Amino acid sequence: MSSPATAAAPDHGHDFEQSKFMFFVQIAMLLAVITGLELVTVYLPFMKWLLVSVLVVLSTVKFMFVIFYFMHLRWDKVFCTILFFIGLVLAGGTAWALLKLFGAEASKPLSAAMADPPAIVSRIA
């Protein structure tokens, strides 16, 4: 999967080099802006699930920009993408399974749980 951009490099010479430089700078600026948006997001007075979803989407966008452009996956052979995504999917799956099995709320220390008991515990008491 050799890219047209790579193949065209020698023909464009200095202009192409300059445009690739600007392209990387633009990507970096975009990443900085997304980081700023993430910071603003956490202070917005919206529902928690909505804010978490927005943060996950913004982080995923940053992640994809870095791997596809800075890490050249966009121009490399597709096998590199498959190889990396195998690890990513396994990592994501493991994280998802662990969080489902041992949620943060479920593993709250007993002292903290007693201080803030769920409704059913209050009723029994």
Q: Vertex 46, ends 43 and 49: CA angle to 5°?
A: 105
Instruction: Give the C-alpha separation, 44 to 46, whole Å.
Output: 6
Q: Which two tokens stand for residue 39?
A: 């910071």
Near another protein by CB under 8 A: residue from 12, 19, 37, 42:
42
Closest CA to 78 of 68, 90, 70: 68
Interaction between residue 68 and another protein (CB under 8 A): no
Shortest separation between residue 117's beta carbon and another protein, angstroms: 15
Q: Are 75 and 6 in contact (CB under 8 A)?
A: yes
Give the interface with another protein as residue ranges (CB under 8 A): 1-3, 6-7, 9-10, 13, 17, 20-21, 24-25, 27-28, 31-32, 35, 38-39, 41-43, 48, 51-52, 55-56, 58-59, 62-63, 66-67, 69-72, 75-77, 79-80, 83-84, 86-88, 90-92, 94-95, 98-99, 102-105, 107-109, 111-112
